[in-house]
Structure 1
Amino acid sequence: MNEYLVTSESVTEGHPDKLCDQISDGILDRYLEQDPEARVAVEVMASKNTIMIAGEVSARVVLDVVEIARQVIRDIGYDDERKGLDYQTCLVLTNLNHQSPDIARGVDQLSSDQLALWEPSSQGCRWVRKEEPRAGAIKDLGAGDQGIMYGYASNETVNYLPMTIDLASKLARRLGQIRKTGQVAWLYPDGKTQVTMKYDHKGRPLAITSIVISAQHQDGISASEIEAVILNRVIRPVIDEKWLTPTTRIHINPTGRFVIGGPLGDTGLTGRKIMVDTYGGVGKHGGGAFSGKDPTKVDRTGAYMGRYVAKNIVAAGLADRCEVSLAYAIGLPEPEAIGINTFGTEHIDRAIIESRVRKGFSFSVNQMIKTLKLKRPQFLKTAAYGHFGREDQGFAWEETNHMEVLLNNE
């Protein structure tokens, strides 16, 4: 009784939506390399050998975003229209504008007379100083938008992710690895994975009930060969046999054919795979996407901070599961609300956990950026295979270096 199923999906880096996320974050990284204070909000659409880049950028540099986009497309492996896109021949359209001064006023805490010291440059999307602002004009960073963000952690895996999204992401990453290393020459960039797991009434994983993998492939490859390769080179190296049962269903390319893929088969958009990016439907999501946004956008920074806090709470043994929520108002540096939900799995009084979090962490926009080292270029790495649980990528929000503060903060 009270057993239940949880399903999570992931996608490969060649999925049309993930392609767009990576172009957006590739552009963001290049701006941050040359101007850590750049304000970037870039969206991408991909469809039938055409890429559209739009958004707002205010920076001290002008970059060739078309060339950045082509490099990202090439690195993913789209080098032939038969695969769904060709980085050399695709049409790349751009429509980048300056950040609204109304948003800049809130983010940089500038008054109208201080904003008047800046003007758009005629040489691309950047602002230039007409004169220096008075000392201390920028006191703090305000949130770049309103909204609520969530972070989540669970002790059911070593990287504190729900097991279903962890396995789905690893299957997708493995699918990409055997393609990009040349182990399976007929694999193409697009692909999706899905894992359904049964849990007991205490939230403990019991068994995988189904695995679904759809892998784009070269025309002329038999279904039997595809199934054998995916089973032996993708599923078996990733999935521990203890989670499989005689009734576990494995579906590989369920339609029998997946030749037309990428932007040729489906339009891609930045920010359309937010559950793939986070926790696979386990835990809440505030709705804001991450990719293409600089760290003043709390959609991204607040979600990373929530994950950091939740992971440290669970790693410290204060709870088995934890969800942290943060709510912000545009232009204000501090959150309007901080929430801690441990789903009844806490090992000390939840009020004590909440008190220690408030004392041990700073949630101002400035401090979150500093704590999580978000002015450095690192975001292209987040744009495929999940923003969380990637402990080998050097992301500060995945560190568990705040456990002692939570354990000793009285």
Structure 2
Amino acid sequence: MRIITSEQVSAGHPDKICDQIADAIVTDCLQHDRDSRVAIECLLKNRNLVIAGELTSTHDPDYRKLVGEVFDRINNGGADNDDAGLDYKLDFSVDELNIEILVERQSSDIALGVDNGGAGDQGMCYGYATNETPELLPIPFVVATQFLKLLKSYPTRMLKADAKAQVSFDYDSGRITTFLCSVQHVREVEVDEFREIVEKLMVRTATAYGLNTDFVKLVNPTGRFVIGSSFADCGVTGRKLACDTYGGIGHIGGGAMSGKDPSKVDRSGAYAARRIARDIVNAGYADKAEVQIAYAIGVAEPVSVYVETFGTEHQDKEFITQYVRENYDLTPRGIINGLGLLDVDYNTVSAYGHFGKQGLPWEK
């Protein structure tokens, strides 16, 4: 057996709360000043939020307002209105938060290199695509992600916002072996009261992808999950890279994407690499493709571009490599302009993954 496991977390997970706040700040700044340079990270513990980093912009963001908008999206739980009976909420409101701002201007040394069209930092970025699913993402990762999206929209007053899913998939037999969900719940209920609901949603998600439903189902295996979010863990921006990308299948780049404007190649390079990997698979050149792009700070052209097709190629590998070299401008400025990265609403990618979603320029 060749069992590979992928994980996803909900929008109410404390690390994801931090990612969403950071990307809300990026989007807000770019909407008001397209030349904004943003490198923001957040830390959330109990009711204390630290927003730290570098920001150079003509726009002065209203941090508390942006945090409130993030909380509203999470608390909505995916429902169309507040009448769905949801209690899929965070444990506190934005008004209860103690917010500390530690934000300074971007280093002039870094700005010099970026202003000249170079990369804002050294970095290695990866993109991956596989024809296993319509989203061109690994099966266990897609199933875990879609399950959590389904869970957050289910009308029940028993569940809270913090949740994780994990799917183990046997690539030799093409079957799910274990499906795990840990979801925060209100204090007044026991796991047995919502176990059947969660298990039915597991089955529904697997069925949607034509997969088996006789897998081991684990729901809150510790027994209770009442204390959650920032009261159980410390949330930090950029700590869920596998959930942001490919679920641990395929390599992960050296830096986080959320909280950064696209002059940072951690973000723009990762999107470009994903676009190239998608194009290779969509063109039928290979069933799987992974693209690595590496940069030096202040230098526009990448120092290396490498394509791996894992023995699934239908074209000569040299042909595929030459195709990449001839068809893509991989300078930071070329990526930003080619993908329109200054016009993206990064709130749409700060939870449930940066890839596999319709309408994103690197997913076309």
Q: TM > 0.5 between the two? A: yes
Query: In the alignment, does 2:112 pair up with 1:105?
Result: yes
* Counterpart position of 1:397: 362
1:170 to 146, 149, 153: 146
1:217 to 165, 170, 185: 185
Task: List, as ranges, runs of 4+ consecutive aligned residues in structure 1 with deviation greater than 4 Å.
Answer: none
Contact in 1 for aligned 2:182/2:225 (Cα 8 Å):
yes
* Counterpart position of 2:249: 282
2 CA distance for matches of 1:290 and 1:379? Answer: 10
User: Shift of residue 67 of structure 1?
Assistant: 2.0
* Counterpart position of 1:113: none
Percent identity at matched positions?
41
User: Shift of residue 176 of structure 1?
Assistant: 1.6
User: Shift of residue 83 of structure 1?
Assistant: 4.4
Q: State the TM-score, normalizing by the size of structure 2.
A: 0.94
Amino acid at match of 2:161: P
* Counterpart position of 1:92: 99
Amino acid at match of 2:130: S
User: Shift of residue 245 of structure 1?
Assistant: 5.5
User: Shift of residue 286 of structure 1?
Assistant: 1.9
1 CA distance for matches of 2:177 and 2:49? Answer: 38
2 CA distance for matches of 1:67 and 1:229? Answer: 35
Query: In the alignment, does 2:37 pair up with 1:61?
Result: no
The C-alpha deviation readout for 1:229-285, integer Å capped at 9, x for no partner, is 1122x2133111852264x21101111111111111111000000000000111111
Contact in 2 for aligned 1:167/1:195 (Cα 8 Å):
yes
* Counterpart position of 1:238: 205
1 CA distance for matches of 2:355 and 2:148? Answer: 15
What is the DSSP-based 3-state SS (H/G/I as helix, E as strand, rest coil) of the residue aligned with 2:218? Answer: strand
What is the DSSP-based 3-state SS (H/G/I as helix, E as strand, rest coil) of the residue aligned with 1:230? Answer: helix
Q: State the TM-score, normalizing by the size of structure 1.
A: 0.83
* Counterpart position of 2:81: none
The C-alpha deviation readout for 1:351-396, integer Å capped at 9, x for no partner, is 01111111111101111001111001411110100001112xx110
Contact in 2 for aligned 1:35/1:59 (Cα 8 Å):
yes
What is the DSSP-based 3-state SS (H/G/I as helix, E as strand, rest coil) of the residue aligned with 2:266? Answer: helix
Contact in 2 for aligned 1:12/1:175 (Cα 8 Å):
no
2 CA distance for matches of 1:206 and 1:95? Answer: 49
Contact in 2 for aligned 1:324/1:339 (Cα 8 Å):
yes
Q: How many residues align?
A: 353
Structure index of larger Rg: 1
* Counterpart position of 1:293: 260
What is the DSSP-based 3-state SS (H/G/I as helix, E as strand, rest coil) of the residue aligned with 1:102? Answer: helix
What is the DSSP-based 3-state SS (H/G/I as helix, E as strand, rest coil) of the residue aligned with 2:271? Answer: helix
* Counterpart position of 1:28: 26
User: Shift of residue 64 of structure 1?
Assistant: 1.3
Amino acid at match of 1:398: E
What is the DSSP-based 3-state SS (H/G/I as helix, E as strand, rest coil) of the residue aligned with 1:375? Answer: helix
The Cα RMSD (Å) is 1.6
What is the DSSP-based 3-state SS (H/G/I as helix, E as strand, rest coil) of the residue aligned with 1:240? Answer: helix
Amino acid at match of 1:88: D
Amino acid at match of 2:211: W
What is the DSSP-based 3-state SS (H/G/I as helix, E as strand, rest coil) of the residue aligned with 2:335? Answer: helix
Which deviates more, 8-17 or 279-288?
Answer: 279-288
* Counterpart position of 2:332: 365
* Counterpart position of 1:76: 74
User: Unmatched 5+ residue regions in structure 2?
Assistant: 78-86
Contact in 2 for aligned 1:32/1:375 (Cα 8 Å):
yes
1 CA distance for matches of 2:355 and 2:10? Answer: 16
1:199 to 125, 147, 171: 171
Distance 1:5-1:102 versus aligned 2 partners, 3 A rule: same
2 CA distance for matches of 1:166 and 1:78? Answer: 22
What is the DSSP-based 3-state SS (H/G/I as helix, E as strand, rest coil) of the residue aligned with 1:331? Answer: coil
2:157 to 185, 196, 206: 185
Query: In the alignment, does 2:280 pair up with 1:313?
Result: yes
User: Shift of residue 78 of structure 1?
Assistant: 9.4
2 CA distance for matches of 1:145 and 1:226? Answer: 47
The C-alpha deviation readout for 1:28-49, integer Å capped at 9, x for no partner, is 1110111111000000000011
Amino acid at match of 1:397: W
What is the DSSP-based 3-state SS (H/G/I as helix, E as strand, rest coil) of the residue aligned with 1:77? Answer: helix
- Paired residues for 1:144-163 under 5 Å: 144-163=120-139
